[in-house]
Amino acid sequence: MAAESYRVLFDGEISDGKDPDQVKRRLSRLFRRSAADIESLFSGKPRVLKTVERLEDGQRLLAAIARTGAVAKLESQPRDSTSKKEKKEHLDTIAPPAGFRYRMNITGAALVVGILWLVHLLVLTSLFAALAYHLVFNLDFYGTFGLAGLLFHALPALIGAAFLALLIKPLLPAGRTVSAIALKPGQAPLLDELLSEVCKKTDAPVPAHIALDSGAGIALDFGALPEIPTRRPTLQLGLTLIGGLTIRQFAGVLGRELGYLGRSQAARRTQFVRASHQRLQHAVFGRDELDHLLARLKKHSGPGALSGHLGGKLLALARELHRGLLKIVTVVSAGPLELLQFRSDSIQARLSGSETFRGTLSMQHLLEMAFKAAAEQEKRNWIERGELTERLPIAALSLAREQAEQFQAEIRTVVRDGPAGVESCRPTDLKRIRRIEKSPQTALYFDERPARQLVSGFEFLNRRASYLYYRSTLLTPITSDRLIPVVSEPSGAERLLRSYFLDLHRAPVPLHQLLPEGTATVLREKLREAADRSKEEQVGNRVTLQYYFEIERQLIEANAREVLVNARVPLPEGKVDLENIHVECRKLESEEEKTARKLRELVQAPSQRLAIGLAYLGISAPERFQEEVGRLHAALRRTDEVLPKLRSLHMHSTILELLLSYGSSRNSALKDRIDERARDVSQLLMAIRLNLREAPWPFGVPVVGDNLAKHAINGDFDGADPYGLLDVAGMALSRTQAIRQRILARLAQLAVSAEKRLLGSY
């Protein structure tokens, strides 16, 4: 049953005392329409401005229209029109219904696969019945052999139970990968928006959740076998894939993966066959914690080695049985899955264009190879040197850039030489490329920006996903001193630190000074003096800032090590002399404070320069500009108040991240330190939110209750675990800085305009 929708109706009525021209301009900005379109709404006939799915959305739109001075009303949309709209959207989808040939092929494949699973269940039932019979009816072993009967009775039962568990593994629900990060609703709004658009164009259901890992793949997970789309799936994305594609290419890849879930696509049968093939593939070729456990047991001596060898034999036997099932499923599903591949390629070409299909396909293969190579390289680095790259996806992307020219040369050889060059590429890829390029398609998306811009906090998620991948793959506690930065670009902490101090020391308005006062002539003279001083001091500022960044980086590392020493956690030898750590911290803190004082003295000239421009704007600009400057100043002062808290928050978060890397330690003192740092981060976040809540949002039309805190910190962090607290802290830090940068940019824009007027440029 379709959900009830609501229509916002408008007949041209304007509130009493409002200027019609001003109302029309506001409506034009609100709905982003031309003046002619808005003028046509004032004919007196009821017009539908917009149709919304939820009552709350309609009420918010009515409030926005009321603020413009117009009068509108909300009413339910008739059911017949809703069904017509859904029918029209269904007809407008870019994914045509599945053909008769595909439906017959996939139906036959689904029946054969279903019979195979039924036979598999019958075998499991027979083994379980034999095991139960052995446990219940062979109790005479105890009377005949006494205590030795326990061995004859229990050992076969344990072996049979273990073998039964290995055989039933492909049928068990697959939990979320431990190396994946589940995004919260609204955490990546741009990604959610693109995903909704692609699902609408392909007539597919929007995934219920999005999970990110450090890999280069894309997949759908419905929870359990049979994985039929009776519920909305979870979309699993790799950060390496997102980092290597453009938004245009990424939209095509999304459409390719989601396209077969649309209506009239035989989605349930398709997903059943695909899921069966993937489950059996993982059962045969996948390696998990059980393999690592058996490998460790084989290295032991005595009963441990015996159990390890016996478990390995049972695992190998189970995989051979699953390998036979996989061969049958592969043969049966080859035909329909090839037809599905052609239809999915067509959807991808329709979304991103035929001309980008070759590049997208090449980039996907390149990213997969680069990620595997980077993961193997990090595994060798861990074994040989005990070090790991802090962001594995970035390392994989760097490796992909190095291999790109060679890979593209291979593709060009294939296209140029035809059949003679097929050996340097997968033949199926060449066939797919030629098939798409024979029927060119115009793209629906042309955005060539990097797809990483769709994910907020991309660098932080990279680091977090790398931690989880190392822990789940290497099964070894990863410590921060063994994570080395990627050489190709600065680390996330360094970049965050750099942007913070640039923001602090190059603010347009000094934190402790009021705007200068005086007439236009006096301000003009002050402006010329400040401009001359700022030009002379630019070089000194850059040198001092660079020195300050280095001191601050050393201070963070020294403070973190001091915490570890106090918690009696052993540090690797050769890093820092333990008895000198406290002295080093105090010395660095003193040096940092002196350098910060010098920086504040150096930046007064450029700060005064823009402050003079804002002062001139305050005495010469119209009233609406003065109101805007006042709101911006109030918001800027509030963000300036939380800058010290942001710096302390960054310090505590960095130390907390280091302490959490020692999570496998049972040191009670370390646990107390982790709890202490987590409380500090939580209290700082609370203080920042309370401070920002008192300042109204300075952009757009003022709205009651719309404050800085709503835009900087949205999400409840009370009671979060330390890992979740780090996510909230990092997001709050980045959003607060983004808001402050936006305020500074607007103030600078107004000040530069005033500066030009003051100096007589026009």
Is the pLDDT confidence value at 483 over 70? Answer: no
Q: What is the mean pLDDT of residues 212-220?
A: 87
247 falls within a domain: yes
Lowest mean pLDDT among 62-71, 509-518, 580-589, 706-715: 509-518
Same domain, residue pair 520 and 645: yes
Question: What's the mean pLDDT in 300-327?
Answer: 77
Q: How far is CA 213 from CA 218, 489, 655, 716, in A?
A: 10, 21, 24, 24
Last residue of a domain, one of 59, 91, 123: 91
Together in a domain, 443 and 549: no
Would residue 477 count as lying in a domain? no
- Which pLDDT value is given to residue 546? 60
6-10, 223-227, 293-297: segment of lowest average pLDDT: 223-227
Residues 524 and 597 in one domain: yes
Considering the domain architecture, whether residues 357 and 500 belong to the same structural domain is answered as no
Whether residue 11 lies inside any domain: the answer is: yes
| CA–CA distance, 611 with 599 (Å, rounded to integer) | 18
State whether 585 and 647 are in the same domain. Answer: yes
pLDDT at 412: 56
Per the document, the length of the chain is: 762
Q: Of residues 193 and 739, which shows the higher confidence score?
A: 193
- Report how far residue 118's alpha carbon sits from residue 225's, in angstroms, rounded to the nearest whole number: 13
pLDDT at 221 over 60: yes
| Residue, of 352 and 739, whose pLDDT is higher | 352
Residue 119 predicted with pLDDT over 50? yes
Which residue, 91, 125, 153, sits at the end of a domain? 91
> What average pLDDT does the segment 157-172 reach?
79
Which pLDDT value is given to residue 254? 92
Which domain, by its residues, includes 129?
A: 100-171
Q: Cβ neighbours of residue 531 under 8 Å, at least 6 residues apart?
A: 609
Residue 465, domain member (yes or no): no
In-domain check, residue 590:
yes
pLDDT exceeds cutoff 70 at 344: yes
Residue 250 has pLDDT above 90, yes or no: yes
pLDDT at position 144 is 67
Alpha helices in 661-721 (DSSP H): 668-693, 708-712
Is residue 659 within 8 Å of residue 564, measured between CB atoms?
A: yes
The half-sphere exposure of 61 on its side-chain side, counting CA atoms within 13 A, is 23
Domain shared by 215 and 328, yes or no: yes
User: With contact defined as beta carbons under 8 Å apart, do 203 and 90 qualify?
Assistant: yes
Instruction: Please name which of 256, 265, 255, 241 lies closest in space to residue 195, comparing C-alpha atoms.
Output: 255
Between 661 and 433, whose confidence is greater? 433
Rounded CA separation 54/366 (Å):
43
**pLDDT tens digits, one per residue of 413-440:** 554 554 444 444 444 567 778 788 788 7
Regarding whether 398 and 294 lie in a shared domain, the answer is: yes
If you average pLDDT over residues 535-539, what whole number do you get?
54
Q: Tell me, what's the pLDDT at 251?
A: 92
d(CA 569, CA 580): 16
pLDDT of residue 253: 92
Q: Taking 60 as the threshold, does the pLDDT of residue 36 lie above it?
A: yes
Domain count, the chain: 4
| Closest C-alpha among 610, 616, 654 to residue 636 | 610
Residue 503 belongs to some domain of the structure? yes
Percentage of the residues of the chain whose pLDDT score is greater than 90: 2
pLDDT tens-digit series, residues 374-393: 888 887 777 776 667 777 88
- Examine the domain organization and report whether 132 and 187 are in the same domain: no
Q: Does 80 share its domain with 124? A: no
Which is more confidently placed, 411 or 139?
Answer: 139
Residues 513 and 637 in one domain: yes
**Distance (Å, rounded) from C-alpha 638 to C-alpha 636?**
5
- Average pLDDT value for residue range 715-742: 65
Task: Indicate the pLDDT class of residue 518, thresholds 50, 70 and 90.
Answer: low
In the predicted model, what is the mean pLDDT of residues 553-565?
A: 61
Give the dihedral sign, CA 408/410/413/414. Answer: negative
Question: 309 near 295, Cβ under 8 Å?
Answer: no
CATH of the domain at 80: 3.30.1390
* Mutual angle of helices 289-299 and 303-352, in 10-degree steps: 150
Residue 486 is predicted with a pLDDT of: 35
Report pTM.
0.52
What confidence score (pLDDT) does residue 128 get?
Answer: 87
Write down which residue in 171, 193, 211 finishes a domain. Answer: 171
Q: Is the peptide bond before 516 cis (omega within 30 degrees of 0)?
A: no
For residue 478, being part of any structural domain is answered with no
Q: Which residue has the higher pLDDT, 486 or 249?
A: 249
Residues 82 and 109 in one domain: no
Indicate whether 657 pLDDT > 80: no
Helix (H, G, I), strand (E, B) or coil at 181: strand
Average the pLDDT over 457-476 and give the result: 74
Kindly report which listed range (269-273, 398-402, 494-498) carries the lowest average pLDDT score.
494-498
Q: For residue range 266-283, what is the model confidence (pLDDT) as tens digits?
A: 778 888 888 888 778 877
Q: Residue 50 above 80 pLDDT?
A: no
Which of 184 and 34 is assigned the larger pLDDT? Answer: 184
Assigned domain for 468 exists: no
- Least confident among 81-95, 457-471, 476-490: 476-490
Band (237; pLDDT cuts 50, 70, 90): very high
Q: Residue 203 in 3-state DSSP?
A: coil
Sign of CA dihedral 722, 725, 731, 735: negative
Q: Report pLDDT for 698.
A: 80
Q: Are residues 84 and 108 in the same domain?
A: no
Going along 280-325, which residue ranges are E strands? none
Confidence at 523, pLDDT banded by 50, 70, 90: low
Give yes or no for residue 607 having a pLDDT over 60: no
**Number of neighbours of residue 380 by Cβ within 10 angstroms:** 10
- Which of the residue ranges 62-76, 567-581, 720-734 would you say has the lowest mean pLDDT? 567-581
| Interval 585-601 mean pLDDT | 61
Q: How confident is the model at residue 540 (pLDDT cuts 50, 70, 90)?
A: low
pLDDT at 497: 36
